[in-house]
């Protein structure tokens, strides 16, 4: 079972709002997930991206891989992508 850190879409038509979640890679986009890690609102100017860094580190240490979109958002936010080696 591969774990991905990805976005799930919420909101209404033409007004998207996303949650950053840790989920099984085989689950549906808006299906079951393990934990909510943060939020992303692309309609705000500047865009609003919030992630709980402790939860993110926990899932990265467990081997979760961020999707390309989440990876670019994390880089823009200045979050490290490598798990902390403890």
Q: Specify the pTM.
A: 0.84
Give the pLDDT score at 47. Answer: 85
Q: Which CATH number fits domain 3-77: 3.40.50.300, 3.30.1320.10, 3.40.50.261, 1.20.1600.10?
A: 3.30.1320.10
* Alpha-carbon gap, residue 80 to 85, rounded angstroms: 12
* Alpha-carbon gap, residue 60 to 78, rounded angstroms: 16
Split at pLDDT 50, 70, 90, the class of 76 is: confident
Average pLDDT on 50-58 reads 92
Query: Model confidence over 9-49: pLDDT tens digits?
Result: 999 999 999 999 999 888 888 888 899 999 999 999 888 99
Give the pLDDT score at 9. Answer: 93
Return the beta strands (E) in 13-84 as ranges: 15-24, 35-41, 48-51, 65-66
Split at pLDDT 50, 70, 90, the class of 54 is: very high
Nearest to 2, CA basis, from 31, 33, 29, 23: 23
Name the residue ranges covered by the structural domains of the chain.
Answer: 3-77
* Alpha-carbon gap, residue 50 to 70, rounded angstroms: 11
């Amino acid at each position: 079972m591969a774990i991905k850190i990805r976005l799930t879409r919420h909101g209404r038509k033409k007004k998207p709002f996303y949650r950053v979640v840790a989920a099984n890679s085989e689950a549906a986009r808006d299906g079951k997930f393990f934990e909510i890690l943060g939020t992303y609102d692309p309609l705000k100017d500047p865009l609003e991206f919030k992630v709980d860094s402790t939860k993110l580190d926990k899932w990265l240490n467990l081997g979760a891989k961020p999707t390309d979109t989440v990876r670019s958002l994390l880089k823009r936010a200045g979050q490290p992508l490598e798990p902390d080696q403890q």
